[in-house]
Amino acid sequence: MSDDIVVDHLTKQYKKLRAVDDLSFSVRSSRVTGFLGPNGAGKTTTLRMLLGLVTPTAGNATIGGQKYTELPDPIRHVGAVLEASSAHRGRTGRNHLRMICRAAGLPDSRADEVLALVGLTPAANRKFKGFSLGMKQRLGIAAAMLGDPRVLILDEPANGLDPEGIHWMRDLLKAFAAEGRTVLVSSHLLGEMQLLADDVVIVAAGKLIRQGPVDEVLGSMGAAQVKVRTPQPAELTTALASLDGVTVAPQADGSLLISGTGAAAVGHAAFTASVELHELASERGDLEQVFLQLTAGMAGIR
């Protein structure tokens, strides 16, 4: 059985709001896929439809070819972390996990195993109300791991984690994907996704904006830029003006940011025009800028 996630023409219409609008994308196994979009883009609604918690107005979503609600013992196939604060305040972390074990027919001992996995063993007998936000996220991940699933779906898991926690989660998810499993992570933290994700799915206002491997999405946007520092900026700008599709943007610190061509072409133009260079550097495209470009005007309150 494949573990791919397929979202097919999914739509959710609330009374006045089309939260998700004819959205289609797919998520492959053995890779970490980032599900990106500004707040209110419909990410959470999409994930909840994928997991059978919200009924779609149209379209459908499958995991390994089956709807979530039709999977026998779904948490043995799919682990999900949807909201960090979803446990009874007066119940201990261990009992929260045992409760899930009982309902899913897993042995109680799994609760202690996943607590150790996420480093929460010392807090096992503490009540949930005494958990920090980061501990709540870890408990959520522990709950998702109980059934040793092939597919992991996480909604904004980095929220509330400190830098060490984010690093820990990144390693965990990458290791998970490396074992051939499927990982889908939603986020609005783009820098994090650039470090974590292999593929990205970008949505805004409920619609698909772009999907593909991170590098491809960055490249397709012409996001690569060249940074140049020279005592003769006017001469270099003139020399570059002869090249097609090249734009030169003077920066506040005196450098020039050149987009539309590579470092080699810029160096060659400078050489032939006898322009002295003090710095010449390719800047890798920044997902955040691409994202802001792609979703410009679509974010915000709908």
Minimum separation from the CB atom of position 111 to other proteins (A): 12
Minimum separation from the CB atom of position 117 to other proteins (A): 18
Q: Is 167 near other proteins (CB under 8 A)? A: no
Q: Is 51 near other proteins (CB under 8 A)? A: yes
Residues 100-139 that bind other proteins (CB under 8 A): 100, 102-105
Minimum separation from the CB atom of position 235 to other proteins (A): 60
DSSP string of 128-195, one letter each residue: GGG--HHHHHHHHHHHHHTT--SEEEEESTTTT--HHHHHHHHHHHHHHHHTT-EEEEEES-HHHHHH
Which of 154, 270 has the CB closer to other proteins? 154
**How many other C-beta atoms are found inside a 10 Å radius of the C-beta of residue 47?**
23
Q: By rule CB under 8 A, what count of residues binds other proteins?
A: 33
Which of 18, 229 has the CB closer to other proteins? 18
Residue with tokens 């996480």: 154
Q: Is 80 near other proteins (CB under 8 A)? A: yes
Residue with tokens 């799919």: 78
Which of 96, 181 has the CB closer to other proteins? 96
Write out the two tokens for 1.
């059985």
Taking the C-alpha atoms of residue 245 and residue 259, their distance in angstroms, rounded to an integer, is 8
Which of 53, 234 has the CB closer to other proteins? 53
Across 8-43, b (16+ Cβ under 10 Å) vs e yields eebbbeeeeebbbbebebebebebbbbbbbbebbbb
CA trace torsion 117, 118, 121, 127 (10° rounding) = -140
Candidate ranges 85-93, 187-195, 242-250, 279-287; the one touching other proteins (CB under 8 A)? 85-93
Q: Which of 2, 39, 60, 69 touches other proteins (CB under 8 A)?
A: 69
Q: Which stretches of the chain bind other proteins, using CB under 8 A?
A: 44-45, 48, 51-55, 68-69, 71, 74-75, 80, 82-83, 85-92, 95, 98-100, 102-105, 143
